[in-house]
Amino acid sequence: MKHPIRQIRSGRRGIAATEFAVCLPVLMLLLLGMLEACSMIFIKQSLASAAYEGAHTAVAPGATATDVRRACLDLLTDRRVRGASVSVLPGDPLGVPEGQFMEVHVSAGTDANSLLPLRFFRGRTLTASASMMKEI
């Protein structure tokens, strides 16, 4: 004959296993969502840094639109951001007079830069821009 205390303990073990089985998918979804969100924050910050570097390059004497795009894409390549596009406004920094602003817009899709196959941010485009005044 079984002892009543042992019956209670074995019942508790079964309840704990059931609770774990129910909670595990929720905890995994939260963990994966946090990883994906942190990845997108990193990409957004990388785009902002690239836009700043591009604008800084654009206001340098003798800079061309190709130099600006190269500066942006080099930084994004180092940070492993894929599928980025860069636009420079106005198109040619050489023709911009002193006192005018140069704008650099950088964007990248979330689908190409997702860490996980779940893609919580599916179909979105992250963008960043920076503007600087041409002084010299």
Top pLDDT among 86 and 118 is at 86
Nearest in space to 119 (alpha carbons), one of 63, 43, 40: 40
Q: What is the pTM of this model?
A: 0.81
With a CB cutoff of 8 Å and minimum separation 6, the contacts of 56 are 71, 132
Q: Where are the domains of the chain?
A: 4-133
Q: What distance in Å separates the CA atoms of residue 125 and residue 18, rounded to the nearest whole number?
A: 41
Structure tokens at 85: 């596009």
Instruction: For residue 12, give Cα distances in angstroms to 9, 22, 113.
Output: 5, 15, 45
The CATH number corresponding to 4-133 among 3.30.1300, 3.30.70, 3.90.75, 1.10.260 equals 3.30.1300
Structure tokens at 6: 């042992």
Mean pLDDT calculated for residue range 86-105? 89
Q: Mean pLDDT score of the chain, rounded to an integer?
A: 88
Q: Mean pLDDT lowest for which of 34-38, 51-55, 112-116?
A: 112-116
Top pLDDT among 49 and 97 is at 49
Is the confidence at residue 98, as pLDDT, over 90? no
The values of phi and psi at residue 96, to 5°, are -85, 125
Alpha helices in the chain (DSSP H): 4-58, 65-78
With a CB cutoff of 8 Å and minimum separation 6, the contacts of 40 are 110, 113, 121, 126
